[in-house]
Structure 1
């Protein structure tokens, strides 16, 4: 074939391509506000012509560019429709060399650059187009979308308003205007704009955005109106059904929520988000088997799905299937390159199920790699506290406070543990730190208690009085005030405070014992005994109360009754042997055979 003949055929093929694109509205004349579509059959025809074109091109002598502006623009538009953006860009640039003032080439090149995320270059193309032709709605629209993508919503609003001045019923411009108004926080104007669209159009995107907006505003009933309308006009709209389900969950309408999640799954059975939401909803209403079934289906699709595994662990633990829960934890650990979070979950699971030794091993392992993991430290502290190793527990908490000195939970634990280990000054210091952040009654009560232990009784009493002034129904405050009066030998005031505490907590054995001590200190022994007899045998303080009764009987000269009571106490609780052997009140009978036998 001669070069001239090849060139004629080459032009003919380009013409055929142009004709097909013209028929499908993708020709050089078309200006795109969004990506054009091209069906498979048309694409197949053009691909065959492009193959022929390349063969013919090889038969033409020379390296000249035989394609004119129209050919370049047709091919650029075709590749744009095929989402081959780099190829498309090459032809747009070639076209613009031949016709730099072509606003359609500039605008379509801008769309291509936008899809390649080259926003500033795209903006330049639209600006150049608008310097030549001042009123191009598509250019204003894409400038608005670029500004939206750059989160410059104020400028985006201006561009969409420019379009509406030219085309007042442009739905895409109206929609993006409403979307931008909502993004900038002008909810009322955004909603009005979107409602103006749906007043005369079944516009799915506007209905969805209105539903999303009112959901975020916690106006569930308004959201449901728009979302149900969207589901009515578009029954298979996945996002609509997902959001409807979530909204129904928010208002505790679980049956409707389940129905919408199931509609999604009927259409797309492998939709993991719908499965998660459906499983979680069944969990919320204690449909354990249904919930587990959904999480298992997710794990069939995605065996290492973290959220599904976590929910499955929660269900297994709730149903007492500890071994299976731990197996899931191990799966999580094995499927993660940095499994610290999963190891912590396993440790917490073991702790919650009283496997403290195994839990401690896990937490020590985590801390071996990162010494400042506060979750591991707090659980280690809890394990040591359970074992009554309070000093070790306190060391863990103090390590937390080194990295988080304002951690309220850690300060609370440090104050409590300092009290248990007898470091009252430290306990007071931690309590004061807590009070600098919160003046809660429980913290004030602890401070009063610590001051009392430290012998600062007047300060302790003042705090108790401060609590009572705020709340006259606080038994703990009256108890602490009573203890202060007892220590300061204000026995009548102590009794009065204890009685007020007992009017609110009549069975509190600690208060009863302190009241009996106030009577004892006044030598009102019968009243003291009456108090002690109120403490039932199943109370932890019962034997201490009985021991006190034996002392009173001894003071009253009732040695036989004192010995009978003391004998029962010591036989039941051997710790009272040493207490009795050092008790001054029992010195007068220390040489009695019965007493010696009892305490030996």
Structure 2
């Protein structure tokens, strides 16, 4: 009887002890997981200062590819980390500008837009204007790369937001002027370009403002900018472009002699200048010489088979 009793007692004791062991083991496992995650959290946050320093070093070296790679790793570990998002957006922007493949450039621009918009959500107040400025520039270049130019309004939005916040940059008004021009907002474009001239009088800017004045019917205001480019430029492409626009202005003013001189000068330097042939055709048409006019429009089509003006004139004069 004693042995049977002892056996049952031992079994009961084992049954009592087993659940306790399971509880202890479970607690140990949970504690282990807790320690692991705490260590991981501390390690990540302890590494942030070193990551920030590394990003600053890479930025100073203009090593945008390495910044792009490093921020991808940082965001994989800690999604929506503002510092990583900001650096990734900036790096993607400059990588896009360096691309020769438009599709690859567009892909980088998309990454820049997404990263900067996310970083803007949690950015410190004093950093938001700079991010808005970069977003405006990114949308401007995205607009250029896109088959359908739907992003000029976003470029204007973020650039004006940056200005309203007190942010300044030498190129901000030039970007604004070009974006307004894409939107057909000629007066706003001229105003922005005029502001830009106070810090920059590049040939590109002078030509841009002259085009806007011409588009707005203000030919007298456009001509001084074109004269400046012709007198100061050593770039033949700019000189010929200005001569073409001057020729168009002279035609609009019925000054056919000066217009003809501009177009003939262009053709001496570039015998395949379709627009110059087209302009000469317009002059001969106004002078009543349709034979010479059609001959020059045909030359324009030989230089550029799809020249819209010459195609229209040839079809309408049959």
After TM superposition, the score normalised by the length of structure 1 is 0.35
Give the CA deviation at 1:49.
4.8
Q: Could you tell me which residue of structure 1 aligns to residue 289 of structure 2?
A: 219
- Which position in structure 2 is the counterpart of 1:596? none
Residues 157 and 181 in structure 1, CA contact (< 8 A), matched pair in contact too = no
SS in structure 2 at match of 1:107: helix
Q: Does the C-alpha gap of structure 1 residues 56 and 146 become closer, same or farther in structure 2, counting only changes over 3 Å?
A: closer
Residue 120 of structure 1: aligned partner: 187
Q: Secondary structure at the match of 1:228?
A: helix
State the alpha-carbon separation in 2 of the partners of residues 11 and 61 from structure 1.
Answer: 9
Q: Does 1:91 align with 2:144?
A: no
Pairing partner for 2:138 from 71, 75, 89: 75
The alpha carbon displacement at 1:88 in A equals 0.5
Q: 1:56 to 1:94 in 2, by over 3 A?
A: closer
User: Counterpart in 2 of 1:142?
Assistant: 208
Alignment check: 8 A CA contact 1:21 1:74 kept: no
SS across alignment from 1:132: coil
Alignment partner of 1:39 is 2:114: no
**Contact kept? 1:101, 1:132, Cα under 8 Å:** no
**1: CA distance, partners of 2:291 / 2:188:** 44
CA drift at 1:179: 0.6
- Match of 1:15? 90
Deviation string for 1:17-75 (max 9, x for gaps)? 222332149xxxxxxxxxxxx934532443245335545665x4766645636734532
Match of 2:229 in 1: 163
**Contact (CA 8 Å) 1:178, 1:193: kept in 2 or not?**
yes
- Alignment match, 1:307: none
**Structure 2 vs 1, CA of residues 54 and 120 (structure 1 numbering), >3 Å: closer, same or farther?**
closer
RMSD: 3.1
Aligned pairs (5 A) from 1:231-380: 231-247=301-317, 249=318
Q: Which has the higher helix share?
A: 2
Alignment of 1:142-541 (within 5 A): 142-167=208-233, 169=236, 170=238, 171-201=240-270, 202-247=272-317, 249=318
> CA, structure 1 residues 128+67, in 2 after alignment: closer, same or farther (shift >3 Å)?
closer
1:376 matched residue in structure 2: none
Distance in 1 (alpha carbons) for counterparts of 2:91 and 2:169: 26
Q: Cα–Cα, structure 1 residues 110 and 215, in superposed 2: closer, same or farther, change >3 Å?
A: same
Measured after TM superposition, the shift of residue 240 of structure 1 is: 2.6
Post-superposition shift, 1:186? 0.6
- Change in Cα spacing, 1:204 to 1:95, as seen in structure 2 (3 Å) is farther
Aligned residues: 233
Unpaired runs of 5+ residues, structure 1, are 26-37, 250-600
CA deviation map 1:141-174 (0-9, x unaligned): 2221222122122222222112212216322211
Alpha-carbon distance in 1 for matches of 2:211, 2:241: 11
Distance 1:150 1:237, change over 3 A: closer
CA contact (8 A) 1:197 1:206 kept: yes
Bigger radius of gyration = 1
Match in the other structure for 1:131? 198
TM-score, scaled to structure 2: 0.62
Relative contact order (C-alpha < 8 Å, sep 6+): which is higher?
Answer: 2
